[in-house]
Amino acid sequence: MSAVPDFLDELESESIYVIREVAASFKNPCILFSGGKDSIVLTHLAMKAFYPLPLPFPLLHIDTGHNFPETIAFRDSMAEKFGLSLVAGMVQDDIDTGRATDSPGENRNRIQSVTLKRMISALRYDACMGGARRDEEKARAKERFFSHRDSSGNWNPRAQRPELWSIFNAHHRQGEHFRVFPLNNWTESDIWNYILREQIALPSLYFAHTRKCVRRNGELLADSAYLPESLRNEAFEARVRFRTLGDITVSGAIESEADTLEAIVKEISGALISERVGRADDKFSASAMEDRKKEGYF
């Protein structure tokens, strides 16, 4: 195994400190769990923070209904293995009741904010910890560790509070809540080096494998029943892996032979672009991520 940078210990300690601050500052927190590598690392850190006690937070997963089957299978097996409380909010429920509109041929990433805000309100979560990192995307770079959300669940980048000397202001009015990002200072490379060091299990999608794919607007996507038939007719086999997981209709793959953690760490060390460059939902406009965040997105 290759040498692991010492600063991983510092990042781990900082994240655990933030997680413990959440436990001390809020009455009913949760972890936003997508089944992706960042939310898995966040959950791993949270379990470390309170070991040997059980994890004191439930995992909240917003299920678009267009997830990779491998992601759902991994989510369920992880919850069972570690005895974690798992709550799933179904986007389909909001479509069926008319709270959200599903446009044929479009992904459901944007409308999952409706489901997320509904679940937060219904279950009265006052803090939701997520695995977002500042290096992912320019809108993420504006985030504090404690990100205030108003009574509508919306984000105002101009209203975020200073966090001098790691002092967090968790004050909020009834109906408001915080999104908390303990991994803010981590990079994609840090995440993968930590996964390697801790030998954290991940969905098989992150490792190189052969699957049917299609090309849409220059992106390599997994073939699925949610894509137009005309596109699926042009499916071909490719050796790929995914750097980021989300709605199966927008999560771009990369051609790769990296099928071990060591190989992925080496591959990432030479990457010149963010993993979110393969997320088609970030490309609708220059401010796509920020617009979704203002509406209540993760």
Percent of the chain scored above 90 by pLDDT?
Answer: 61
Classify residue 164 by its DSSP letter.
G
What region, left, alpha or beta, does residue 40 occupy, with left being phi > 0 and alpha being psi -120 to 50 degrees?
alpha
pTM: 0.87
Contacts of residue 181, Cβ cutoff 8 Å, sequence gap at least 6: 129, 130, 131, 132, 133, 143, 144, 145, 147
Q: 60 - beta bridge partners?
A: 32, 87
Question: Cβ atoms within 10 A of the Cβ of 180, count?
Answer: 28
What would the pLDDT profile of 109-139 be if each residue is shown by its tens digit? 788 989 999 999 999 999 999 998 988 777 6
Please, which pLDDT band fits residue 19 given cuts at 50, 70 and 90? very high
pLDDT, tens digit (0-9, with 9 covering 90-100), for 73-96: 999 999 999 999 999 999 999 999
Q: What is the mean pLDDT of residues 254-263?
A: 95
Angle at 131 between CA 128 and CA 51, to 5 degrees: 80
Phi, psi of 133 (to 5 degrees): -130, 150
Dihedral of CA atoms 289, 125, 200, 297 in degrees, nearest 10, equals: -10
> CA–CA separation, 271 vs 26, rounded Å?
38
Q: Is the pLDDT of residue 59 over 80?
A: yes
Q: Which residue has the higher pLDDT, 293 or 170?
A: 170
Q: CA-CA distances (angstroms) from residue 75 to 29, 50, 80, 204?
A: 19, 21, 9, 12
Query: Residue 164 — pLDDT band, cuts 50, 70, 90?
Result: confident
- Please tell me which residue, 50 or 246, carries the higher pLDDT value: 50
Helices 69-82, 37-50: crossing angle, 10 deg rounding? 10
Residue 80: which residues within 8 A CB-CB, separation 6 or more? none
Kindly compute the dihedral angle of the four CA atoms of residues 294, 61, 138, 217, in this order, to the nearest 10 degrees.
Answer: -100
Interval 176-200: pLDDT, tens = 888 999 999 999 999 999 999 999 9
Lowest mean pLDDT among 98-107, 120-129, 211-220: 98-107
Which tens digits make up the pLDDT trace of 234-245? 999 999 999 989
Q: Cis peptide leading into 157, omega within 30 of 0?
A: no
Tokens of 133: 């990192």
Beta-sheet strand order (sheet of 59-63): 86-90, 59-63, 29-32, 127-129, 177-180, 146-149
Domains within the chain, CATH numbers bracketed: 7-190+287-294 (3.40.50.620), 203-282 (no CATH)
Q: What would the mean pLDDT of 52-58 be, rounded to a whole number?
A: 95
With 50 as the cut, is the pLDDT of residue 274 above it? yes
